[in-house]
Structure 1
């Protein structure tokens, strides 16, 4: 208390000046219409800017939660869309649709690790066995094909992306319906190669490439990308086609894992075929 009194006595002139300045300011603002209006306008603008900044910060912090919710909703919608043909068939025969008649379901997951600059690129997801993730399930996002699950633990899973020389996907030229395998040569992360398309097929830059129906990993018509360039190699029967990927692998965030509910049945049936 004594120290405070000494401080006030020592600086009383400065403190008195501040008090008088505040009183003068209040008198000017309260008894002069123009100054009062300017003050209120300025203070409102400052407060508005503060609120806007605070709201932006809060919105940014909440983006992760919003993205997660949107990804889960997207997965649910994809599941419903994928099963529409089965529902339509059940309506025609007027029978009840049972859960086991569904074609597939989509499981939302977040990418927690990802690479693009290796020959054998992979990604890691924050979902595992307890969430229904299994080996050989396809992975997509809102833009198109991402990859396939290769290893699974209880809470996490690992997958090869399209940017992996050990893995490819059966694709189809949408306009003609002609199909062939997609592969990556280890170069540009934005492009892959489509093989097996014969010369008699009419191609154009910008043509759409989607997944074919000859895959137990992906439903058909999932976007792969668009034709960026093509040529006819001398002495060959098939085009060399460069496809611009629809997915930006440098910004992977949320994905959907495809659980094909009829895959095991298909594979078991195909195993019964005799070897040639």
Structure 2
């Protein structure tokens, strides 16, 4: 308290000056119509700008929750798409019972870690076993395929990116249906290679590459990219095809996890056939 009194006493002339200036300003505004109108207009402008700035800041802060809600809604909508269902059509004599059985379920996740400059690249997502995540689930964005879940903990999961030496995605040329394996050769984060496409198949730059129906992880027709270049290798019966990936792996934030509800049944049957 003593220090406060000393501070006021030490600056009393300055404080008196501010009080008198404020009082003069009040009288000028209060008893002069022109100055009063100018002050009101200026006050309205300042207040409007202040509210506008505050609103912009509040909207920006709320974007994260809005994006979360939109991602959840998109995941639910993807789960309702026709390619998420399998047509289990049963024919008995002349009676056809057509039932759509859901095969794929989508859920949203955030990317909390990602690498693109290594030979073997992984992502970490903020979803784990308590959210229903399991190994071998597919991961995509609105732009296309990202990778496949490898490790799962309670709250997180790791994803083997397409940008990994062991990544193999069953892919096909959309316009003619010829399929092969998409691999990454470790040179460029935007380019992958499509293997096993016969050299007699008519293709051209810009042809769309999508997932095939031979995968137990991804639904068919999920975008992968487009043909960037191709050439027929001497004394070989297959093309060398470069695919420009549709996903920008250096700018990943929100993804979708794909759960094939019939994958185990399919793999168990296929493993018996392989015996």
Q: Partners of 1:49 and 1:108 in 2: how far apart? A: 37
- Match in the other structure for 2:177: 177
- Match in the other structure for 1:242: 242
- Match in the other structure for 2:188: 188
CA displacement at 1:190 relative to structure 2: 1.3
Distance 1:34 1:205, change over 3 A: farther
- Match in the other structure for 1:113: 113
CA displacement at 1:238 relative to structure 2: 2.2
Greater strand percent: which structure? 2
**For 1:1-276, what aligned pairs fall within 5 Å after superposition?**
11-82=11-82, 85-86=85-86, 93=96, 101-274=101-274
Cα distance per residue 1:200-221 (max 9 Å; x no partner): 3333332211101111110000
**Could you tell which deviates more after superposition, 139-148 or 46-55?**
46-55
Cα distance per residue 1:40-88 (max 9 Å; x no partner): 2222222222222222222222222222222211111111114665479
Q: CA RMSD in A?
A: 2.6
Q: Partners of 2:166 and 2:271 in 1: how far apart? A: 23
TM-score, length basis structure 1: 0.87
Q: Secondary structure at the match of 1:250?
A: coil
CA displacement at 1:156 relative to structure 2: 1.9
Q: Partners of 1:95 and 1:213 in 2: how far apart? A: 21
Equivalenced residues, count: 271
Q: Partners of 2:98 and 2:212 in 1: how far apart? A: 30
TM-score, length basis structure 2: 0.87
Q: Secondary structure at the match of 1:193?
A: strand
Q: Secondary structure at the match of 1:164?
A: coil
Q: Which runs of 5+ in 2 are unaligned?
A: none
Distance 1:10 1:169, change over 3 A: closer
